[in-house]
Amino acid sequence: MKFFGFIAVVVVGTLLLVATGDFPGWGNPHSPASEGQVSGFYIEQTVNVTKVPNMVTAVLADFRGYDTMFETVVIFIAGIGIIAVLRTFGDTAGKASDYPEPDEGSDIIVRSTCHLMVPLIQLFALYVVAHGHHSPGGGFQGGVMLGASYILLALACGLPVAKRRMGERKAIVLAATGIIIYAGWGVACLFFGGNFLDYASLDPVLPGDKEMARSHSMLVVEIGVAFTVTAIMFAIYSNLATRGRLEKGL
Amino acid sequence: MTEHYPVVILMAPLFGALLATLLGRGRQVACWWTALIALGISALFAVGNICAVLASGEGELRYRMGGWHESSGYEVGIELRVDMLAALVVAAVTLVGFVNTIFAKTRVTGEMREKVSFYYALNQLLIVGLCGIVMTNDAFNLYVLIEITSLTSYALIAMGNRRAALSSFNYIIMGTIGASFYLLGVGYLYIKTGTLNIDDIRGVLQSGNLWGHASITIAFILIMLGVWIKMALFPLHGWLPNAYCYAPSAVSSFMAPLMTKVMVYVMLRVMLWLFGSEYVYSSGHVWGELIIWMSIIAIVAGSFLALARTDIKKMLTYLIVAEVGYMVGGAWLVNGAGLAGSMYHIFSDAAMTFCLFLAASIVILRTGDHRLTAFNGLFRRMPLTMIGFTVGALSMIGLPPTCGFFSKWYLISGGIEAGHWAYVAALLFSSLVNAVIFFRIFERAYFGNLKGVADEQFPDDRDSAPPLTLERVPCSMLIPLFLAVMAVLLVGIYNNTLVSWLKAAMPPL
Amino acid sequence: MELLAAGFIEDNIVPKFNYWIYVILMMIGLYAMITKNNLIKKLIGMAVFQTAIILFYVSIGVKEESGIPILGHGQHHEIVEEGKPSGEVITKDEFANPLPHVLMLTAIVVGVSTLGLALAISQRIHGSFGTLEEDEILDQLRPGGHD
């Protein structure tokens, strides 16, 4: 098996390296990808058609918003998939000795620091979500931070403390709500006569002109993404850390 | 309104899945109704979509997500493209999903217990992913949707017993390699063309005359390898038999007919639309002949492996491996008949695999035995189920009124036209082996002793197993089987219409 | 001979080192996925494999003498508030291509999801087989299995 694997790796690796022969070099500004019409359109026109200075956010949430919606669905699938595979509903109470007895939180210094840190982390996460238009950031990044703040709470103060704030049911509802916001916003565009996810058609109900409608809509879908990512990150952690029992954990 | 049909097809199951998740535990009937209604809407609009494509002059519909139009000849957003082939595959996917939901009602309660809502959610998301794959016109979007279908199927398979979890793990490893190869191939194309839209990539390859570049050749090889892993072409089929065999029966009955077939569609799409037939079929490449031989090996090996199995489902999964060989071979014969046969076989194979898996699931459920011994004397005990099984089996063998005959007819005439006698021989050989396999089962079912080996091997089940009476097979299982039988027959009877539609969708060779 | 080798390195490796690195990383991952016996080691290989592809895509987006694809505050103000045509304020050369970054955000999410699901499944395998070594699992399956 090892020999066979080595041969396969060498063959594939050689194949991949042969292909690089006619690739443009590192950082070449005249490569087709950098010089192409699509990239040029994104760089020069994004600000005109969406008024968003961060092109990555605009491409993510608007030009390729359809991709991003399914990306959020991927996260959602991972979350409910893990729950579906791992979760045990109450019938394993007898053999809970796989992990050491949970201490209700670690020592007081850790807990106090955590209590100070969590609000700041969450505040910064909200800033990252909301400020994705102007600086690096957006729903995924902010959502992961929000999720991480709950994970920190669970690590420092024990899972029950974190579960009071983000229970399983709440996490599932929040995750589904996120996608409902995203996809629902896209469907709303249909009712205003546009194509799916055509945010410009929403300008009668949003402040500003068509371009601002796109900008505002991007914020809405980013918030939807942040909901889903927050809930699923914590759900993944809590299920993996407790083998799906959600009682005691690391 | 007509132009928004593709969105409705995708959004109905997506919202259905979210609703099923929100309903949560303890509301199984509500979850079932949600899935049924959502997939019903989806199927309805998919059929409407066929009419819309027929009515449109160009024979294809384009839908631009976000209303982004092209800029100086290149798409900046994501575009959907629905031609006749895509519309028909979407209709097949949603209809199979809908009928399977009816079938799943009684089955999942026993198999999934508290997780029924997750089953329905994942089931519908898988349908969303498959429909999206078929309709998208963006190479990267295709990757995202392939991953959606993969993730849902990993989770659905792993919901079974411990063997299912292990098979799902192997599927994850293989599936990730396949999807990553696809992604890498798309990256190679992007680096050379600077665009991701399938039509634009072909345009740039053509206008820039990039066909001779080694990197394009390697991108093609990578994408093909990725797609073959996903569709389980013979030497790369390792993950499929165990995954489909040990998955919960309500899962395998719709995953087996759909997943590999949609990946065959992706292969056709990559060959004919992403790279273009001039490139793929140009005589300068050695791969045409090579791939037909690979498909011949797949057909022969799949048939032999199926012959050697005593487990019903595992036998059927190896038959799928052989059928994948049919379609891959047909696509590389470089003539209209072969290509039409390959496309037509997507539908006929979906119909007959669905039919056989439904019948086999019912048999396994009623007898509690998953080996061929389960069929002993079944014609007397379960005549309706066995009639359904027989129709599916006759189609696999390739007898006239069923669709299996016509797809073989087109494939064989394509093989003769191309002068590829080994491929023709492999098809006939596979028919022969299928005949042996299924007549062996018919013999058991007609003449076998009901109190045969099954009871000796399963002493523990004897007390708990319900008596083998037909009344115990619920209508919610027989109606789907009946619909699947009708599909096998109708796809066969209307083969002329179907093939003429498919030929209209084909790009000129 | 040495000259030849030096020429090869100068022409093919130095300007294209990003491709070499990604191929090497990817092959390390692929080797681990194919040959390792422990399921977690396979998953580590899978993570390396996927990360190598992300590295490849991100390196496509590199453009010499260009910055991150976010307009400066001044530029944004001039275009949106003062109504200057964007062509006068910004040029294509000063920003990197945003598309590979967007694509890789998607690929990262997919990678994380796959890894999470795979870890959950391997926990289940460990729960029911008591081991994560593939050969030991297959040994357990042999007597009772019907394969």
Residue contact A196–B7, C-beta within 8 A: yes
In tens, the pLDDT along B50-93 reads 998 888 878 888 898 888 887 777 888 899 999 999 999 999 99
Partner-chain contact A240 C120, CB within 8 Å: yes
| Reported confidence tier of residue B19, pLDDT bands at 50, 70, 90 | very high
Is residue A116 situated within a structural domain? yes
pLDDT of residue B29: 85
Cβ within 8 Å of residue C75, ≥6 positions away? A47, A53, C89, C90
Distance CA B418, CA B432 (A): 23
d(CA A245, CA B221): 45
Chain B, residues 85-124, CB within 8 A of chain A, namely 113-115, 118-119, 121-122
Q: What integer best gives the mean pLDDT of chain B?
A: 86
- Record: contact C117-B190, CB cut-off 8 A: no
| Cβ pair A86:C106 closer than 8 A | no
Tell which C residues from 33 to 62 touch B, by Cβ distance under 8 Å. Answer: 33, 39, 42, 46, 49-50, 53, 56-57, 60
The answer to whether the Cβ–Cβ distance between C98 and A68 falls below 8 Å is: no
Is the entire prediction scored with pTM above 0.90?
yes
Q: What is the pLDDT of residue B269?
A: 92
Which residues on A lie below 8 Å from C23 (Cβ)?
13, 16-17, 20
Residues C121 and C71 in one domain: no
Residue from B442, B147, B109, B119 nearest B254 by CA: B119
Q: Is residue C109 part of a domain?
A: yes
Helices (H), chain A: 2-19, 32-35, 37-50, 55-58, 65-86, 108-130, 139-157, 159-165, 168-191, 210-241
* Cβ separation B148–A74 shorter than 8 A: yes
Average pLDDT, stretch B188-192? 90
Residue A225 vs residue B110, higher pLDDT: A225
Instruction: Please tell me which chains touch A, using 3 or more CB pairs under 8 Å as the contact test.
Output: B, C
C-alpha angle A96/B166/B457, rounded to 5°? 95
Q: Is residue A250 part of a domain?
A: no
CB C49 within 8 A of CB B176: yes
Domain count, chain C: 2
DSSP letter (8 states) at residue B451: S
CB proximity C25 to B under 8 Å = no
Give the mean pLDDT of B28-37. 89
User: Which chain A residues contact residue C121 at CB under 8 A?
Assistant: 85
Is C147 a member of any domain?
A: no
> C128 at the B interface (CB within 8 A)?
yes
Give the one of B173, B183, B311 whose C-beta lies nearest to C53's C-beta: B183
Q: Is the ipTM of this complex over 0.90?
A: yes
Of B208 and B470, the structure prediction assigns the larger pLDDT to B208
Please list every residue in chain A whose beta carbon sits closer than 8 Å to the beta carbon of residue B250.
Answer: none
In this structure, is residue C114 part of a structural domain? yes
Do residue C15 and residue C77 come from a single domain? no
The answer to whether residue C79 scores a pLDDT higher than 90 is: no
In terms of CA atoms, which chain C residue is nearest residue B314?
A: C147
Mutation target vs B (from A41, A45, A64, A191; most B CBs, 10 A cutoff): A64
Range of the domain at C49: 2-61+97-142
Task: Sort strands B60-64 and B79-83 into parallel, antiparallel or unpaired.
Answer: antiparallel
Q: pLDDT: is B465 or B395 the higher one? A: B395
Going by DSSP bridges, is the β-strand pair B60-64/B74-75 parallel, antiparallel, or unpaired? unpaired
Q: What does the buried/exposed string (b/e) look like for A20-34 if buried means 16 or more CB atoms within 10 Å of the residue's CB?
A: beebbbebbbebbbb
Mean pLDDT on B298-309: 91
For the record, the structure tokens of B74 come out as 């290149």
pLDDT score for B378: 78
pLDDT at position A181, please?
A: 94
Touching partners of C (3+ C-beta pairs < 8 Å): A, B
Looking at the fold, whether C77 and C136 belong to one and the same domain comes out as: no
Write out chain C residues lying below 8 Å of A58, CB-based: 98
**Cα distance between residue C80 and residue A175, in whole Å:** 35
| pLDDT score at A162 | 84
CA count, 13 A, side-chain hemisphere, C140 = 14
A170 inside domain: yes
CB contact under 8 A, C121 and B191: no
Instruction: Check CB contact of C80 with chain A, cutoff 8 Å.
Output: yes
Q: Is the dihedral of CA B307, B312, B317, B322 positive or negative?
A: positive
Query: A with C: how many residue pairs have Cβ under 8 Å apart?
Result: 170
Query: How many beta-carbon pairs below 8 A join chains A and B?
Result: 171
Residue to test with chain B: of A66, A182, A214, most B Cβ within 10 A: A66
Q: Give A194 to chain C, closest Cα distance, Å.
A: 24
**CA-based nearest residue in chain A for residue C57:** A33
List all residues of chain C from 7 to 46 with a beta carbon under 8 Å from chain A: 12, 15-20, 23-24, 26-27, 30-31, 34-35
Chain A residue with the nearest C-alpha to that of C21: A17
Contacts of C45 in chain A (CB under 8 A): none
Q: What is B1-137's CATH number? A: 1.20.120
Give the pLDDT band of residue B426 (cuts 50, 70, 90).
very high
pLDDT confidence of residue B450: 59
Burial annotation B92-128 (CB, 10 A radius, 16+ → b, else e): bbbbbbbbbbbbbbbbbeebbebbbbbbbbbbbbbbb
H helix intervals, A98-199 = 108-130, 139-157, 159-165, 168-191
Amino acid identity, residue B473?
V
CB-CB neighbors (< 8 A) of B128 in chain A: 73
- State the Cα torsion B248-B249-B255-B260 to the nearest 10°: 100
**Residue A71 CA, distance from chain mean position:** 8
Q: What is the pLDDT of residues B327-340, one digit of tens each?
A: 999 998 888 888 99
CB contact under 8 A, B151 and C117: yes
Query: Is A19 or B259 the better-scoring residue by pLDDT?
Result: B259
Work out the pLDDT band at B507, boundaries 50, 70, 90. Answer: confident
- 3-class secondary-structure state, position B133: helix
- A68-118: pLDDT as tens digits: 999 999 999 999 999 988 887 765 444 444 455 555 556 888 888 988 999
Same domain? For C50 and C69 the reply is: no
How many residues are present in chain B?
A: 509
Same domain, C57 and C127: yes
Which residues of chain A from 182 to 241 reach within 8 Å of chain C, CB to CB?
A: 236, 239-240
> Is A7 domain-assigned?
no
The reply to whether C111 falls in a domain is yes
Per-residue pLDDT, B424:
93
Hey, is the C-beta of A80 within 8 angstroms of any chain C C-beta? no
Residues of the domain holding A120: 54-91+99-241
The full 3-state SS of B36-48, as one line of letters, equals HHHHHHHHHHHHH
| Spans of chain A, pLDDT less than 50 | 92-98, 250
Domain contains A4: no
Would C29 be classed as within a structural domain? yes
Is the per-residue pLDDT at B499 higher than 50?
Answer: yes
Q: Would you say residue A184 lies in a domain? A: yes
For residue B384, pLDDT beyond 60: yes
Judged by CB atoms closer than 8 Å, whether chains meet at A74 and C113 is answered as yes
Of A6, A7, A28, A55, which to mutate for an interface test with C (greatest number of C Cβ within 10 Å)? A55
Number of domains in chain A: 1
List the single residue in B169, B180, B183 with the smallest CB-CB distance to C118: B169
